[in-house]
Structure 1
Amino acid sequence: MDKIRVLMAKPGLDGHDRGVLVISQALRDAGMEVIYTGLRQSPKQIVTAAIQEDVDAVGLSSLSGAHNVLFPEVLKLLREAGAEDILVFGGGVIPAEDIKLLEKQGIKKIFTPGTSTKTVATYIERAVLEARGEVKITAAAKPQGIDHIGIAVNSIDSAAVFYRNHFQLEVETVVELPSQQVKVAFLPLGNVTIELLEPLTGDGVIAKFLEKNGEGLHHIAFAVDDVQQRLDQLKREGVQLIDEVPKKGARGNNIAFLHPKQASRVLVELCESHDTEGG
């Protein structure tokens, strides 16, 4: 298998390149060959270098706000040169609405500040190998939906009154999990379940959460087809996990948690869906 070759470029008038240098080193650490063309490159210079260097992918970094003009111009020149098989990805301070537009025009992926270098390297490797036809890699699908929302409470009986009186939601089942030192009440609502989490002891995870934060949102759970497969994918991408292997949830299905610092301090659970049963 030939090494993946990537050309990193800074189109436009950007005056510094710290970010692109960090990404370049991360790609080298991942075993790729990286060519960096330097600051203030025109789209024509970038495309010429990409063809001469026979690269698999071009990475464009822009902080100047000219991405909506410069990135599509690189794509256009690659097509005109018969080199549309070269993948183009981008990064920088790019608004969400512009990301959607650029990816629709043919930019393979836009990475924004906060994306781990491991995520970038994993994505590029996967995309290039699939484009070469050397491997068939199915990108992880979106979660099936929100499986449940976990709310930490001091008392299930007290907390359930609000949902019963004002939203006509009834507790369907209550399950005790001594191994996790928690009692769970399930309040189904359409395809989503509200879980009320009451501590069984004073030193369990929920008890400690209540002591530190008081009652409130504890976690949000996404329904996925295969928890272990998703954990493996996230680990490759550099996401910090609490659980590297699934464990059994309150309804007997596989679950796992991601570290809250990965999602703006929100604890995220992966829940293996069997008719969208919660964890």
Structure 2
Amino acid sequence: MVQNIHHINFLVRELDKAVAEFAKLTNTKPIFEPLSSRGANSARFQLGDTWLVFVSPTDENGIIASILEEKGEGIFLISFGSDDLSKTLAGLTGNPRNSEMRKGLDNWYVQDISLDYEFGPILQLCETH
């Protein structure tokens, strides 16, 4: 079952500039992490129980660069926390976008999902370990 908004991803062209501005707003420091398998770098801030993740492409031919080219900067993914990904997926009428869950930042297990309605951002489920 979906329990909360685990994280929201913002796609940005200039990671350092975006992070500096957001750090001023929140008076916090981000955690920087590469997303090598996705051709990107990330920086994340925790606000309450929700992570805000800024993602910028490092590979102009990677998936993140293609999403940036298609959609532009801004919110591109909303991830909902689940205590059991398999059980939550089994209860959905929509089909997963990918055939397998993958390991994300900080040992998060994530699965993109498709629903019968297009919401704009990619929707995802996230289970932490």
1:190 alignment partner, one of 40, 48, 67 = 48
1:228 alignment partner, one of 78, 86, 89 = 86
When Rg is computed on C-alpha atoms for both structures, the one with the higher figure is 1
Task: State the alpha-carbon separation in 2 of the partners of residues 148 and 256 from structure 1.
Answer: 13
Q: Does 1:265 align with 2:120?
A: yes
Task: State the alpha-carbon separation in 2 of the partners of residues 273 and 144 from structure 1.
Answer: 12
1:209 alignment partner, one of 61, 64, 67 = 67
Q: What RMSD, in angstroms, separates the aligned Cα atoms of the two structures?
A: 1.8
**Alignment partner, residue 148 of structure 1:** 7
- TM-score w.r.t. the length of structure 2 is 0.88
Q: Does 1:256 align with 2:111?
A: yes
The structure with the greater share of residues assigned to strand is: 2
Task: State the alpha-carbon separation in 2 of the partners of residues 265 and 189 from structure 1.
Answer: 23
Structure 2 residues not aligned, in runs of 5+: none
Task: State the alpha-carbon separation in 2 of the partners of residues 158 and 260 from structure 1.
Answer: 34
State percent identity of aligned pairs: 26
Task: State the alpha-carbon separation in 2 of the partners of residues 204 and 228 from structure 1.
Answer: 28
Letter in 1 for 2:13: N
Distance 1:253 1:191, change over 3 A: same
Post-superposition offset of 1:166: 2.5
Task: State the alpha-carbon separation in 2 of the partners of residues 199 and 260 from structure 1.
Answer: 27
Structure 1 residues not aligned, in runs of 5+: 1-140, 275-279
Post-superposition offset of 1:243: 2.1
Post-superposition offset of 1:170: 2.0
Determine helix, strand or coil for the equivalent of 2:17: helix
After superposition, where does 1:1-279 map in structure 2 within 5 Å? 141=1, 143-171=2-30, 173-234=31-92, 237=93, 239-259=94-114, 262-274=117-129
Letter in 2 for 1:253: W
Determine helix, strand or coil for the equivalent of 2:106: coil
Letter in 2 for 1:188: Q
Task: State the alpha-carbon separation in 2 of the partners of residues 182 and 262 from structure 1.
Answer: 28
Task: State the alpha-carbon separation in 2 of the partners of residues 245 and 226 from structure 1.
Answer: 15
The structure with the greater share of residues assigned to helix is: 1
Task: State the alpha-carbon separation in 2 of the partners of residues 174 and 261 from structure 1.
Answer: 35
Post-superposition offset of 1:261: 6.3
Task: State the alpha-carbon separation in 1 of the partners of residues 128 and 3 from structure 2.
Answer: 8
CA contact (8 A) 2:107 2:128 kept: no
Post-superposition offset of 1:159: 0.4
Higher RCO (CA 8 Å, separation ≥ 6 residues): 2
Q: How many residues align?
A: 129
**Alignment partner, residue 113 of structure 1:** none
